[in-house]
Every structure is written in C-alpha cells, then in structure tokens.
Amino acid sequence: MPTSKSDNYIEIPEEARRVKAVFHTRPSDQHISDIKQWIRDGNPAFLNPYHTHTKPPANSSLVYRGEFDLLEKDVKAGRLAPCPCCSPNHGKYGRKGKIAWFPDEHVIRLLGPDCYKAIDREGHEQAIEEFRKEERREHEVRYLLGNEEKLRLTLKALMDGLELAKALDEFGAVLRKKIYDTMNLDLWPHINKGQLHLNQKRNEFIGWSSETTEVDVIVDYAKIGGYRLLNPETKALAALFNQPLDAFQFLDGVADWNSFVTGKTDEERHQLASLFSNARKAGTNALDRVADAKKLVSHETLATLRAWGRHPDCPYPFCLDFDETKVSVGRSVFPVVSIKIPEILSAYDSVPTMHLPGIKEA
C-alpha cells in the first residue's frame, strides 16, 4: 500500500531544519569529536545539535572536517541516515558520512559520503583533497610526536646491532678462511641449505621376492641456524645498517623533538615519515639477519655441528669443537685451528629488536 510517505519515511523535526549559523570560524577539533561521539553513542545524525538539515545552495564553498560511520548494527539493519543534499526524509548513507562546514552560511551539515558531488563536483573534489591532506598531516604529526622515545630506542637498537654485525662479519671471515683455506675443508656444499644430512644404507626388497639389496639413502639429520655465515660468498652484515642508520642518526642532534617536528613544512614532515618508514623496514631486516647469523655461534648449533661431523654416516666427516671463547676445526682431532669468538657475541643474549610501529599501523 504505497503512500506518499513510504514506510521508511523519516520525520524530521523543525529543530533539525533550523539554521544554526554559529560556525563563523572553522569548527574546532572539539566540535568534530563531539559529533563523532554523538554518532558513536547511537544517536541519529540528523538530530545532532550542530547539524543543519537543509539543502546546501549550489556553489557554496565547503570544508570537510571529518568522517564517520553509523553503528554497524544500524548499517546492517538498513537504518541509514537521511542526507540533506539529496535524501532529506529517507535513509541514504551508513558509512563514510561527512562532517562538512559551509563557511558562507556558517553552518555544519552531516552529509552522505559523496553527495555534495552532485551539487558541485569540483568543489567536492577539492574539499576531499584538502581533507585527505589534513588527515595525513595530523596522522604524521601524531606518529612522529607520539613515538619519540621509540624512535630514539630504534637508533640505539641499530647501533647495538651494528656492533654485533661487525663482530659477526669479522668472526665469519676468519672462520671461513680457516675452514676453507687453512684446513681445505669443502664443507659448504653439505650445509648450504641449513639442512644437515647423513648418508646411510638401507636394505630393500627386490621386486616381490624375499631377497634384499643394499641401497644408499640420504636422510635428514638436523637443521642449523646461521649457516649463511659459512657461505664463501656471503656479504658483510654491517653494510645492511648503512641506510637505516643514516635515517635515524640525526635524532642524536635533535634535543627538542617537538619543535623540530612541528617546525617542518607538511612536505618535509611527510618525507621524514616516509624516510623512517623505509628505514624501519631496512633496519628490521638488518637486525633479523644479524639474529640469524648469530645462531651459528650458539651452543646449540655448534654442538649439532660437532656431533654431525663425528657421526659415522656424515657425508663429510670433520672435527669441530668449541668452548665459550673459541671454535676449533680440523679434518680430524689433530691438527685443528682455533678461532676466537668475539666477546660481544657471547655477551648479548639476544639481538636487539625494534619496537617502532609502522606509520600505517600507528
């Protein structure tokens, strides 16, 4: 039974239509958060006391100040908000509603996400662009100011990581030289995937007969961490720290972080945030690589290598021994050469990590 007022007709009270021309200046952050709270509390958008429920005149200038979603349960149930632009008495939008300030009329209207586009496409697009820029600016300022301590701790973690990297580079270089050159052990082909094997013999039945024959099989023995440090072509770990340290190091020279960040132009601040974001990725990678390489010097890995080298089925028997201070290698128990383990590698229980959130997660 269709009528002029359909079932989902929304009765708009006079108060909602009353022009509240009180916003002579740009609505404050407090106004915006009041409106968002009103919506979060489940109140109808059109009843918000700041909202003027009249159609905006064409070619009025507007400034988007915020976005909001209705409560998920209302959106799902189809209880949408009416829009003064295009649908003043019927539900129209549920998500990404806009808080728009109309400076000429001094009013605020809560609108559907793209509704104003139909009234003034260019004005809408310009306002959206400005709004996104502002969002980015606020986000970046909040990120940079809110993470000062973590940024400084990141610098510290990277500097500590670099010291470990240098020690591992040095230790690895000596270890490789002694294994491959001095002792002439061709070990790498047997460990180059981090998986140690044994060559074993197994009896297998021949066809359907009861006779057996001995076959060679390769079986897994153990995995070892840090094996890349034994790669004859490995690259220096310390070099991985150059880029992230370059990005974070200037923090040391900045005493007043607040003024430094707020004194930047938007573009400079954006570049700074991107620089940190990239350096964070590179730094995480560098520290992960150090943590992995350091596993070679662990008791667990060295004990595994020692046992494997002496195993009767080891495809490449050799002798490795170690204590807290050195690793010794040889073809057999005598002669062996020893390599000193740098103190720093036993001093650190674990490799420092970064606790800086990414700008996207922040």
> Residues interacting with Zn ion, by CB under 5 A?
83, 85-86, 112, 115
Please identify, using beta-carbon distances, which residue of 112 and 244 lies nearer to Zn ion: 112
Unique residue bearing structure tokens 């044994």: 198
> Least distance from C-beta 264 to Zn ion, angstroms?
38
Please identify, using beta-carbon distances, which residue of 43 and 89 lies nearer to Zn ion: 89
The dihedral region occupied by 42, where left means phi > 0, alpha psi between -120 and 50, and beta the remainder, is left
Please identify, using beta-carbon distances, which residue of 82 and 225 lies nearer to Zn ion: 82
> Least distance from C-beta 17 to Zn ion, angstroms?
16
> Least distance from C-beta 41 to Zn ion, angstroms?
23
> Least distance from C-beta 86 to Zn ion, angstroms?
3
Please identify, using beta-carbon distances, which residue of 12 and 275 lies nearer to Zn ion: 12
> Least distance from C-beta 75 to Zn ion, angstroms?
16
> Least distance from C-beta 283 to Zn ion, angstroms?
47
Q: Which residue is nearest to Zn ion (CB)?
A: 115
What is the per-residue burial (b if ≥16 Cβ within 10 Å, else e) of 65-104? bbebbbeeebbeeeebbbbbbbbbeebbbbeebbbbbbee
CA distance 290 to 160: 11
Cα dist. 54→16, 44, 57, 85, 123 in Å? Answer: 8, 16, 9, 7, 18
CA distance 75 to 54: 23
> Least distance from C-beta 93 to Zn ion, angstroms?
7
DSSP state of 180: I
Please identify, using beta-carbon distances, which residue of 85 and 158 lies nearer to Zn ion: 85
For the chain, the distance separating the N- and C-terminal CA atoms, rounded to the nearest angstrom, is 52
Please identify, using beta-carbon distances, which residue of 66 and 112 lies nearer to Zn ion: 112
- Residue 197 φ then ψ, to 5°: -120, 170
CA distance 71 to 69: 6
Please identify, using beta-carbon distances, which residue of 83 and 339 lies nearer to Zn ion: 83
For 311, the token pair is 């195993």
CA distance 61 to 101: 9
The dihedral region occupied by 165, where left means phi > 0, alpha psi between -120 and 50, and beta the remainder, is alpha
